[in-house]
Amino acid sequence: MKDYRTQSIRVFILLLACLFTSVAEAQLGAITGNNAPAQLAITTTGHSQISWTMVETVANAGPYSISSSSGMFFAPDNTVLGTVTTTLQTNGNAQSPGPVSVVFNESLTIPLSIIRQAQQKGFNTFAYSRQFTDFPDNNTQSGTVVFSITGGGAGSILSIRRVAMEFDDGRISALLAPNSQIQARAQVSYYGTGLLEYRWEVASPPSTQGQPVFVPLVSRKQYLLAGGKVVLQTPRLPTGLTGEYLLRLQISRPTPDFNMPVLRYTISKRGQSISGMRIKPLQVARPAADAVLAVSTEFAWQPVTGASAYQLEIYTRPVHDTDLPGASQPPPLTGVLVPAAKTHLTVGGLSRAHLLSGSSYYWRVVALSATGQVIARSDFRRIQLP
């Protein structure tokens, strides 16, 4: 009986040994990732093929398994941008001890929201990482690939070309009654794509009587796509105190290489009658753009309701009406003033004397009220002097 028990124990131990040796002991090595393409456009969902390459070193022959349950997108500051729940798994059987090369091919879809998140944080790259685990030893290794973001057709660094500001009714200065509602906007012309960081600031009385003290109204970030222009809107502006206010747009990223315009508005009890005025578009009929200014050239436009006079203005270059009056806005070289009964005119010799032969100029027509306020204006057109 004792010999039988001893023999049974030996058989059990042998079977147990066979069971353990039938599963390969393994060590998972470093993982290399290769993604193609590695560049993603900011304008659309991305797609990339990723090859995850690794070496599983087995100590003895037998089955092994390697898997990854999920992947994660990371910004360069290690912020998690999103996850992928697709599982990758492979099962193999090592015929002999030694290294075994394993490759996972993953078809990855990168949501546009992931790309935008990275750009909104100010990054042009982000990473995708997976952690792989082998069985039976449960060794883990991580692999990472990096994606770069392009502008989708205008993939250059964002730069600000011009900023034009006006109040929401089209004026560049305003006289308002206390507690009036008013907002302003800036039209930003830019090149390239990237993250825009800016804030609106206002200086209120009495600081504007001396050294203005600008206080932030709101700070914002906005990713700019290819397009060239964007309109930025202020919140409601303060109008509770009487006196002069100054409004400016501060762009911190990217930094403009020019002086930014400033809007000025005044709060006064006598501003009630003027505050409702809105500058309307004025439609010109002729001459066409890039016409030649001859002695007989006639300027004509559509009448404007409420106009008491019209003025033809000729400049060396277009004037940005959103610039602070008297600061960077030059006066016209010459012009012609006519009563409201006339909606056409020719430029006489006295006005032409200010213009140089062979040069190009820009003209527009403005409509004036009985008090001399601009109530309508046309766009600029270029004209050539022979």
**Do 169 and 142 belong to one domain?**
no
**Do 142 and 181 belong to one domain?**
no
Look up the domain containing 200 and give its range: 159-271
Give the span between the Cα atoms of 109 and 84, in whole angstroms.
9
The tokens for 176 are 């308002």
What is the DSSP secondary structure assignment for residue 386, as one 8-state letter? -
Last residue of a domain, one of 150, 181, 213: 150
CATH code of the domain covering residue 354: 2.60.40.10
**Do 320 and 229 belong to one domain?**
no
**Do 42 and 143 belong to one domain?**
yes
Q: Which residue's structure tokens are 């004037």?
A: 319
Which secondary structure element, helix H or strand E, spans residue 9, and what is its range? helix 2-21
Structural contact between residues 57 and 100, judged by C-beta atoms closer than 8 angstroms: yes
Last residue of a domain, one of 208, 239, 271: 271
The pLDDT tens digits along the chain (386 residues) read 545 455 555 545 544 444 444 455 678 888 999 999 999 887 789 999 999 999 988 888 888 899 999 999 999 999 999 999 999 999 988 888 889 899 999 999 999 999 988 887 878 899 999 999 998 788 899 999 999 987 644 446 788 988 988 887 777 778 888 888 889 999 899 988 788 999 999 999 999 988 899 999 999 998 887 668 899 999 999 999 999 999 999 999 999 988 888 888 989 876 544 444 567 899 999 999 889 999 899 999 999 999 999 999 998 887 755 433 333 456 788 888 889 999 999 998 877 888 888 889 999 999 988 777 788 999 899 999 98
**Do 93 and 72 belong to one domain?**
yes
Q: Which residue's structure tokens are 């056409």?
A: 344
CA distances from residue 252 to 165, 199, 382 in whole angstroms, order as listed: 17, 8, 34
Q: Give the type of residue at 305.
A: T
Q: What is the number of structural domains in the chain?
A: 3
The tokens for 28 are 């998972």
Give the span between the Cα atoms of 197 and 252, in whole angstroms.
6
**Do 170 and 146 belong to one domain?**
no
Give the span between the Cα atoms of 51 and 37, in whole angstroms.
12
CATH code of the domain covering residue 60: 2.60.40.3880
Q: Give the type of residue at 90.
A: T
Last residue of a domain, one of 127, 150, 173: 150
Q: CB atoms < 10 A from the CB of 76, how many?
A: 14
